A = this chain, B = another copy of it.
Amino acid sequence: MTHCPTILQALRQRGYRITSQREMIIEIIAHSDRHLSAEEVFHRLREKTSASNLTTVYRTLEMLWVEGFARRNDLGEGRVVYAPLAHGPHLHLVCRSCNRVIEADHSLLAGAEHQLREHYGFQADLAHLNLFGVCQDCREG
């Protein structure tokens, strides 16, 4: 029925129960080609079934993130979005002026990551970092 048997199996093994709501939410996230907010996931869920509840969506997305089956990105100003793991590592350059998000190579932070580890013992997670600033268009325009 589902297209994500691996995630479901893993969750079951960790003591979670697989409900139809969870299956559908996992489907939506896993096959999304872009970041989705809880609200957007909820709307897509509604198109499939009436058994959909925003509270459950919030809880399921949080759980998927905690368990390592979804990415979570806090864009600030209360904008939290989720993406599938397939959405590989990269930086988000968020323009404070036009709100556009440019995706950038995250390897340019490899040096910084190493230094943080060396000097502060801090294991930073920079694979999906958001950086705020002003994009070229907004600076020139």
**A120 and B102 contacting across the interface, CB-CB below 8 Å:** yes
Count the copies.
2
Specify the chain B residue showing the minimal Cβ separation from A76: B74
Cα A80 to Cα B103 in complex, Å, equals: 25
**B124 and A132 contacting across the interface, CB-CB below 8 Å:** yes
Q: Which residues from B are CB-within-8-Å of A104? A: 116, 119-120, 122
Cα A122 to Cα B125 in complex, Å, equals: 21
1/0 contact trace for A101-141 toward B, CB 8 Å?
01011001101100110011111111001011111100100
**A121 and B109 contacting across the interface, CB-CB below 8 Å:** no
Q: Which residues from B are CB-within-8-Å of A125? A: 96, 131-134
Prevailing SS type, chain A contact patch: mixed
Q: How many interface residues does chain A have, given as a range?
A: 20 to 34
**B109 and A112 contacting across the interface, CB-CB below 8 Å:** yes
In the complex, whether A29 has a CB less than 8 A from a CB of chain B is no
A88: min CB distance to chain B, Å: 18
Cα A80 to Cα B75 in complex, Å, equals: 13
In the complex, whether A5 has a CB less than 8 A from a CB of chain B is no
In the complex, whether A93 has a CB less than 8 A from a CB of chain B is yes
Q: Taking beta carbons and an 8 Å cutoff, which residues of A are in contact with B?
A: 74, 76-78, 93, 95-96, 102, 104-105, 108-109, 111-112, 115-116, 119-126, 129, 131-136, 139
